[in-house]
Amino acid sequence: MKGICGEQLNNCMLLGNCDNVGDGATIVGAEDGVGGAGSGGVLAASARRIRLRQVQSMAVPATSAYDTLERPYRHDKARGRWAKSADFYFASCTHAFTSLMFSDLPTFGLIHGGWVLFIIAYLMGIFFYSLPIFLIQAFLGQFSTSGSISAFRVAPIFKGIGYSILLINLGTLTYYSIGAVVPLIYAVNTLHAVIPWTHCNNTWNSLDCSTHDNYDPDDLSVDPHSTVEFFRSMIASTGEGSTALSISLPMLVAVVAIWLLVLALLLKPIAFIGKALRCACVLMFACFVAVFFYLAIHERVDLGTIHSYLLPSFYNVEGLLRAGSSAFLLAGLALGPGCGSVINLASYNSFRSDAERMSVWVCLTHATIGLLAMLCCNVAHDHFEDHVGMLPLHVDEKHDMQYLYLSFSYLFGRFSTASNLWAFLFFLIIFLAEISALTIQLLSVLTSLFDEFECLRCRKMPIICFLVFGLAATSLYFCTQVSDEFSLPEIICIASVPPLSVGLQSAESAATTGHVLACPHFGCSRADGHLGLWPCALPVRLAVHAGQNDLKLYHILHTLCHAHLSRTVSGG
């Protein structure tokens, strides 16, 4: 506001300056021509000059940054607006279909045996945490018509928040593309006549490859399934002969293709980007509705199934409270990818757009999609563990995306009708959501830079190209095994103890000596765009083989696991 008012004040001063100069010249001329009025003209001219100097001393300098009053803020008139006001809603809703909705959110409900507390906490987080912050960011972006840095010119002391948002987004963009690479690879492979992960006749399959649909849960290991070997070769790059820096050819090609697509979008006007996001969101809605109903019909999901999922198993009240608090924090996914993306998206609204109504609808949409995604994920996880193996007891690729893609790829591969089609539609949904999130987050960075630094506006194309190619190069590192070691630390918790063959004392000693079996993973997912906003936890389902037939033994192992986890996280 100070910069805007200062600019208007300067214009008024300039007009007054011109008028005063003209009057002063006329009076001086009159003084020379008329001797009788000389003294009065001199006094009047002197008074006007004194007044002019006083006014000029009050004027705001013409070169001001709105905080130091050395350069006024100049709006970028070429930044454009949404083609339709609804584009803000659709752009904000694209993040509702992100891979986190089908992976992280349901996991917290699964690990603690029920949804009731988790769902209540999730909905409370949506309406008491996400919605107010969403409204604040939407109003700030819409009425400032600028990015996350320049939006704080109304209170320059908070400009550091804008720069922090910029740095967080740049940091997460270095690995964010991986979230779009994996579903793209799966979607492309569904175009084969026979889905590659449903058989063992591929070049990457080992001699031990299996297509079993049944296993003995008492076994400590099972033969590697074809679904697992596809993920191991194409995604995790952990096949035979691989090294720490190995990267599969499909991952390399997909990373390059995704960044070229993002570059092509960002070089277009904002109206075109809004139309593209609108079409992508509508397509995701349509595909998700079709996939959800067919999955429910194929797997015979009824009210009894939903009721069994809803009922919690109160093994540990502390664990349930932890799940509830995690659900409350994960409700922040409604705020979009990265940090401050809502400010950027709202800055392209027209001044009279109803930001309040659209914000409410965005949060309602996120809550609805989140609950439906939880049901889909539970069904997929149960189907996988009924036929292939326990996660992560029998199947553990030490990758933070394995639970989503192993479960759903196996489920859709077993569909009796048009399995290729349903698998393609599902992975297309996630790909469109992740590519939209990548575009929105990078658009937020570019908008902040061009709005704040006027000198960069004439160099938009080279800056966009340089930033995209630089991020594409760094993304290749996160396709290797080395990145997994840093992005997802493992904590092994429970010993390999045969069921019903040990007593409680031997179970305690086994757990303390390190012979452990099931492993909750705690750490930040690479696909999580909110890195740095809160300490995120990604626990994987606690599959306690030793305690599945002995509830008391389960309690002891579970308590020891969380005690070890607390010491590890606290650095003890």
Q: For the domain that residue 141 is a member of, what is the CATH number?
A: 1.10.4160
Reading the block at residue 359, the tokens are 């914000």
What is the number of structural domains in the chain? 2
Cα distance between residue 393 and residue 541, in whole Å:
10
Q: For residues 423 and 61, give the distance between their C-alpha atoms in angstroms, rounded to a whole number.
A: 63
Number of H helices, E strands in the chain: 21, 0
Residue type, 55: V
- Interatomic CA distance for residues 275 and 190, integer angstroms: 28
Q: Could you say which of 487, 522, 545 is where a domain stops? A: 487
In a domain, 519, yes or no: no
536 falls within a domain: no
* pLDDT of the chain, 572 residues: tens digit per residue: 444 454 444 555 444 444 444 444 444 444 444 344 455 566 777 777 766 666 555 554 444 444 444 566 677 777 888 999 899 999 999 988 988 888 766 766 666 656 777 888 888 889 998 999 999 999 988 888 888 888 887 777 788 888 888 999 998 898 888 889 999 999 999 998 889 998 888 888 888 888 877 777 777 777 788 888 888 888 877 666 667 677 778 888 999 999 999 999 999 999 999 999 999 999 999 999 999 999 999 888 888 878 777 776 655 667 667 777 778 777 888 888 888 889 999 999 988 888 889 999 999 999 999 889 888 888 888 888 888 877 766 776 666 677 888 889 889 988 888 889 999 999 999 999 999 999 999 999 999 889 888 888 888 899 999 999 999 998 888 877 665 543 433 322 322 333 333 333 443 443 343 333 333 333 333 333 332 222 333 333 333 333 333 444 444 444 444 444 444 434 44
Helix, strand, or coil (residue 450) = helix
The whole-model pTM stands at 0.73
Preceding omega of 392 cis (within 30 degrees of 0): yes
Whether 433 has a binding-site annotation, put simply, is: no
Q: Are 224 and 153 contained in the same domain?
A: yes
Tell me which of 464, 487, 510 is where a domain ends: 487
Same domain, 48 and 118: no
Domain assignment present for residue 50? The answer is yes
- What was the pLDDT predicted at 492? 29
Examine residue 458 and state whether it is found in any structural domain, yes or no. yes
Quick one: 50 and 114 in the same domain? no
The verdict on residue 114 lying in a domain is: yes
Concatenating the DSSP letter of every residue in 494-562 gives: SB---TTSS-HHHHHHHHHHT-B----B-S--TT-TTTTTS----PPP---STTTT-HHHHHHHHHHHH
DSSP characters over 47-79: HHHHHHHHHHHHSPPSS--TTTTSS-----TTS
How high is the pLDDT of residue 551?
42
Question: 235 with 248: CB under 8 angstroms?
Answer: yes
Judged on CB neighbours under 10 Å (0-12, 13-18, 19+), 250 is buried
- Buried (b) or exposed (e) across 20-57, using 16+ Cβ within 10 A? eeeebeebeeebeeeeeeeeebeebbeeeeeebeeeee
Please state whether the peptide bond connecting residue 250 to the residue before it is cis, i.e. omega within 30 degrees of 0: no
Separation of alpha carbons 111 and 103, rounded Å = 12
Q: Which one of 487, 512, 532 terminates a domain?
A: 487
Which residue type, as a one-letter code, is found at position 90?
A: F
Nearest CA-CA partner of 180 in 396, 429, 521: 429
Same domain, 411 and 477: yes
Cα distance between residue 63 and residue 158, in whole Å:
21
Residue 362 within a domain: yes
Closest CA to 27 of 47, 55, 9: 47
Q: Are residues 396 and 435 in the same domain?
A: yes
Measuring CA to CA, which residue among 552, 556, 534 is closest to residue 168?
A: 534
CB atoms within 10 A of CB 354: 13
342 and 455 co-located in one domain: yes
Q: Is residue 558 part of a domain?
A: no
Residues 120/310, Cβ–Cβ less than 8 Å: no
Q: Where are the beta strands (DSSP E) in 502-554?
A: none
d(C-alpha 180, C-alpha 259), whole Å:
10
Domain containing 36: what range? 2-58
Residue 59, CA distances (Å) to 10, 62, 64, 75, 124 in order: 6, 9, 12, 21, 51
Q: Which helix (H) or strand (E) holds 533?
A: none
Give yes or no: residues 243 and 196 share one domain: yes
Claim to verify: residue 210 and residue 254 sit in the same structural domain = yes
Give me the amino acid identity at 443: L
Domain check: are 11 and 105 in the same one? no
Query: Considering the domain boundaries, does residue 478 fall inside one?
Result: yes
**334 and 225 in a common domain:** yes
Distance of CA 23 to the CA centre of its chain: 63
Which residue's structure tokens are 């507390």?
Answer: 117
Instruction: Judge if 24 and 122 occupy the same domain.
Output: no
Q: How far is 317 from 208, CA to CA, in rounded Å?
A: 42
Judged by phi (left if over 0) then psi (alpha if -120 to 50, else beta), residue 566 lies in alpha
If asked whether residues 40 and 98 sit together in one domain, one would say no
